[in-house]
């Protein structure tokens, strides 16, 4: 049965499942598959730890940024993909998803207090927690609260994460809140002196999310 969610004004958002067999483009977006196994470790050398500390400080200071790219989501035997734009102006953000689940444009916006989801038809839903709201409206629990940090190559506030990084102090793997995040590629050209992620895969259970970041704006 397709999930229906009641919105303001009595509107109903119908989340249509998309079978992977019909949408091979989703699989192409999420390939190559990365094996998410093994143990994550803390920085193994003093230079590596020093590079990570300096990098973490600079990334944390990025309060205003924007990323444009593509997102692919597979949940069990269903999936979807979309283009996206995420504009962050702490504590506010706006995420535009274009094309998910045949919905046209979906806008996710927060003023730091409340999160709103609006469809192309103008139907609007609001809740304090973005993860809960997206599960109700799109049928998938996207970890927005974590992604706003993970997309920069940072652990989110909360439980102590497990980290792996390269010699330059850039995260290659992060385990936090039940999620495993793999950083496959960093942008070849630094922006404002920072190497920023370009390919990111996040996995929790049978939920897989891949971000292909085509442009960073600081």
Map out the domains of the chain as residue ranges.
Answer: 4-192
Report CA-CA distances (Å) from 64 to 10, 67, 94, 206, 217: 35, 11, 12, 32, 9
pLDDT tens profile 27-85: 445 544 433 333 444 555 788 889 999 999 999 999 999 999 999 999 988 899 999 99
Query: Quick one: pLDDT at residue 34?
Result: 38
- Compare 2 and 47 and report the one with higher pLDDT: 47
Helical (H) or strand (E) element with 185? strand 179-186
- Tell me the average pLDDT across 175-204: 96
Write the pLDDT tens digit of every residue in 144-186: 999 999 999 999 998 889 999 999 999 999 999 999 999 999 9
How far is residue 114's CA from residue 92's CA, in Å, rounded to a whole number? 10
Question: For position 22, what pLDDT does the model report?
Answer: 42
Token pair 């190497």 in the structure block, residue: 195
What fold does the segment set 4-192 form as a domain? outer membrane lipoprotein receptor (LolB), chain A (2.50.20)
Q: In this predicted structure, what is the pLDDT of residue 47?
A: 84
pLDDT for residue 16? 43
Contact (Cβ atoms closer than 8 angstroms) between residue 106 and residue 118: yes
pTM score, two decimals? 0.80
Note the pLDDT tens digit of each residue in 82-139: 999 999 999 999 999 998 877 789 999 999 999 999 988 899 999 999 999 999 988 8
pLDDT of residue 187 exceeding 60: yes
């Amino acid at each position: 049965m397709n999930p229906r969610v009641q919105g303001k004004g009595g509107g109903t958002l119908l989340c249509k499942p998309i079978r992977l067999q019909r949408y091979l483009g989703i699989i192409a977006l999420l390939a190559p598959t990365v094996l998410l196994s093994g143990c994550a470790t803390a920085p193994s050398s003093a230079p590596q730890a020093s590079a990570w500390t300096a990098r973490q400080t600079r990334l944390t200071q990025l309060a205003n940024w924007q990323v444009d790219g593509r997102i692919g989501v597979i949940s069990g035997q269903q999936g979807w993909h979309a283009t996206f734009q995420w504009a962050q102006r702490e504590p506010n953000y706006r995420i535009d998803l274009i094309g998910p689940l045949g919905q046209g444009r979906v806008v996710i916006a927060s003023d730091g207090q409340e999160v709103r989801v609006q469809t192309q038809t103008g139907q609007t839903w609001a809740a304090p927690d973005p993860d809960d709201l997206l599960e109700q409206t799109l049928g998938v629990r996207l970890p927005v609260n974590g992604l706003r940090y993970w997309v920069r190559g940072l652990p989110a506030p909360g439980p102590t994460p497990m980290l792996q990084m390269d010699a330059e102090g850039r995260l290659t793997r992060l385990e936090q809140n039940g999620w495993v995040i793999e950083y496959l590629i960093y942008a070849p050209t630094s922006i404002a002196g920072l190497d920023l992620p370009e390919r990111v895969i996040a996995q929790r259970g049978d939920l897989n999310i891949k971000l292909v970041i085509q442009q960073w704006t600081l």
